[in-house]
């Protein structure tokens, strides 16, 4: 059958062996699949009941977004459902600032984790996956990107190897979720947009994403 994806990898979840690939090592923009790494770092480094505040930078993020005003405070647990089900861009920035202290510092944590997992062709610049480019110290251009092989490696880690794997799966398998900020002034409602959950059985986790560059 014709495979329309520009890149693809089929990986054995137990061993990490790649069984099939199409341009598996070609770096490409990764859109909101970025949030896979944002989520697992938050689960491993934060606590579910941590209070997380909407910053000015988070409130300025483009759609899709939760849309809560600057200063509102949510629990980290609730924001992880906002992140993975609705793919809210402001939520990703809130989580990054909470865990890393800043978006830039959190991107450093993301890249360090990717290297630890053996993902050598991945470059994280944002926690939400919006298209981004940055000039490196030697004048080279860095692009927010990954490869199909690296992305499969990251997902394998999140589902099967991370100490937070069960919590990660529970979030990704949730069909809908509602929550409010800690003062009860603002509410959020999330629906999982991963169509595979209803198309086939046995889906452990997944993440959708779209940007102009990523398609």
Can you tell me the distance from the alpha carbon of 192 to that of 53, in angstroms, rounded to the nearest whole number? 24
Positions annotated as catalytic residues are 32, 35, 87
Assign 3-class secondary structure to the chain: CCCCCCCEEEECCCCCCEEEEECCCCCECCHHHHHHHHHHHHHHHCCCCCEEECCHHHHCCCCCCCCCCCCCEEEHHHHHHHHHHHCCHHHHHHHHHHHHCCHHHHHHHHHHHHHHCCCCCCECCCCCCCCCEEECCCCCEEECEECHHHHHHHHHHHHHHCCCHHHHHHHHHCCEEEEECCCCCCEEEEECCCCHHHHCCCCCCCCCCCCCCCC
Can you tell me the distance from the alpha carbon of 2 to that of 92, in angstroms, rounded to the nearest whole number? 35
Residues 149, 28 contacting (CB under 8 angstroms): no
């Amino acid at each position: 059958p014709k495979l329309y994806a520009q890149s693809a990898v089929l990986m054995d979840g137990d061993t990490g062996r790649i069984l099939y690939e199409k341009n598996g090592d070609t770096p490409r923009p990764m859109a909101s699949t970025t949030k896979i790494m944002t989520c697992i770092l938050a689960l491993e480094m934060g606590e579910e009941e941590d209070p997380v505040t909407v910053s000015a930078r988070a409130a300025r993020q483009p759609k899709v977004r939760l849309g809560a005003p600057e200063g509102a405070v949510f629990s980290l647990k609730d924001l992880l459902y906002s992140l993975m089900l609705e793919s809210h861009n402001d939520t990703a920035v809130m989580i990054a600032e909470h865990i890393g202290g800043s978006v830039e510092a959190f991107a450093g944590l993301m890249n360090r984790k990717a290297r630890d997992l053996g993902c050598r062709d991945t470059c994280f610049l944002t926690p939400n996956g919006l298209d981004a480019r940055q000039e490196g110290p030697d004048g080279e251009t860095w692009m927010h990107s990954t490869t199909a092989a690296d992305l499969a490696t990251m997902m394998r880690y999140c589902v099967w190897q991370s100490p937070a794997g069960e919590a990660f799966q529970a979030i990704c398998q949730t069909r809908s979720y509602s929550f409010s900020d800690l003062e009860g002034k603002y509410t959020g409602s999330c629906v999982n947009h991963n169509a595979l959950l209803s198309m086939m059985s046995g889906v452990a986790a997944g993440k959708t994403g779209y940007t102009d560059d990523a398609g």
